[in-house]
Amino acid sequence: MSIESAKAQNLISESPEGSSLWRDAWIRLRANRLATFSLFFFIFISILTIIGPEIISISYESQDLDNTFTPPGSSHLFGTDNLGRDLFARVLHGGRISLAVGFLATAVSLVIGVAYGMTSGYLGGKPDALMMRIVDILYSLPFTIFVILLMVLFGRNFVLLFIAIGAVEWLTMARITRGQTLGLKQAEFIEAARALGYSHSRILFRHILPNLIGPVIVYATLTVPAVMLLEAVLSFLGLGVQAPMSSWGSLIKEGSEKMDIAPWLIFFPGLFFSLTLLALNFLGDGLRDALDPKSAKD
């Protein structure tokens, strides 16, 4: 090798790792202070609710009928509720449930939506038109109504809750995925892959799916709070999680009824709920900005 070509080789090998979309996105996200803060806050809350109930000594369900409605203090950090249960423990436990519902339901809607949308977009033509027609029809369903109907009629199954909510949210995911897939289908690298004789599934999973992840993540981050709100609405009707378990939604509902006599009962769950939702929303916004180079900056 001549020195020139060696130098050239070095230059090439020393140049920064072909900046992938992810790297760029991560850098942009870091720059967005609000989004980064939200991310860490969210991770913090998640850890707190997952590990918290294990390490603190008080159980979320042990009643103390002599000490109902005690304000926050040394023995009970957040006070106690109408049966003397410790609110701090219940908020942590509630967080587990709320986040679990949020994530699992979103995951359900994600899986269904992405699979459906990707297939529809990839197939194109008549099958695509039909599948989207079905989506349009389902879009006309008064969804909250259906979720309520499902929960009322078929009982308060925890699993049913996820499925019901997930089934409601997948439509928009499907639409987004399909739109993206349609666009990607035309891209040159896909044509190249077809030319190379790659199977459809390989193309779908290896080439299209990774490029969908961006918008999907953004949408997912914004779906989780919507799901948590929906769960809170169901709790209002008594259709959410069952006693003695609690979710932030059911805690807030119970607290809102006693706002004037025990404001801490709504303050703490409400605080955690709102902050988590805020964090997720900011994070989602930040991710959207980070992953989409075209969106407004400055």
3-state SS, residue 86: strand
Classify burial at 143, counting beta carbons within 10 Å of its beta carbon; exposed 0-12, middle 13-18, buried 19 or more: middle
Residue ranges in 227-246 that form contacts with another protein under rule CB under 8 A: 229, 232-233, 236-238, 242-244
CA atoms of 82 and 236, how far apart (whole Å): 17
| Piece in contact with another protein (CB under 8 A), picked from 44-52, 57-65, 119-127, 201-209 | 57-65
Among 66, 74, 159, 188, contact with another protein (rule: CB under 8 A): 66
Among 58, 97, 110, 150, contact with another protein (rule: CB under 8 A): 150
Phi, psi for 19 (deg, rounded to 5)? -60, 110
Residue ranges in 243-272 that form contacts with another protein under rule CB under 8 A: 243-244, 249, 252-253, 256-261, 266, 270
Q: Would you count residue 22 as binding another protein (CB under 8 A)?
A: no
Tell me the two tokens of residue 297.
């900056």
Among 1, 145, 195, 196, contact with another protein (rule: CB under 8 A): 145
CA atoms of 208 and 30, how far apart (whole Å): 26
Q: Would you count residue 274 as binding another protein (CB under 8 A)?
A: yes
Buried b (16+ CB within 10 A) or exposed e, 202-227: ebbeebbbebbebbbbbbbbbbbbbb
Contact 83, 65 (CB under 8 A): yes
Site map 160..199 versus another protein, x via CB under 8 A:
----------------------------------------
Contact 91, 269 (CB under 8 A): yes
Nearest to 191 by CA among 178, 203, 177, 205: 203
- Residue 83 or 217: which CB sits closer to another protein? 83
Among 48, 56, 83, 115, contact with another protein (rule: CB under 8 A): 83
Compute the least distance from the CB of residue 140 to another protein, in Å.
5
Q: Is the peptide bond before 244 cis (omega within 30 degrees of 0)?
A: yes
User: Which residues contact another protein by CB under 8 A?
Assistant: 62-63, 65-66, 68-69, 82-83, 133, 136-137, 139-146, 148-150, 152-156, 225, 229, 232-233, 236-238, 242-244, 249, 252-253, 256-261, 266, 270, 273-274, 277-278, 281-282, 295-296
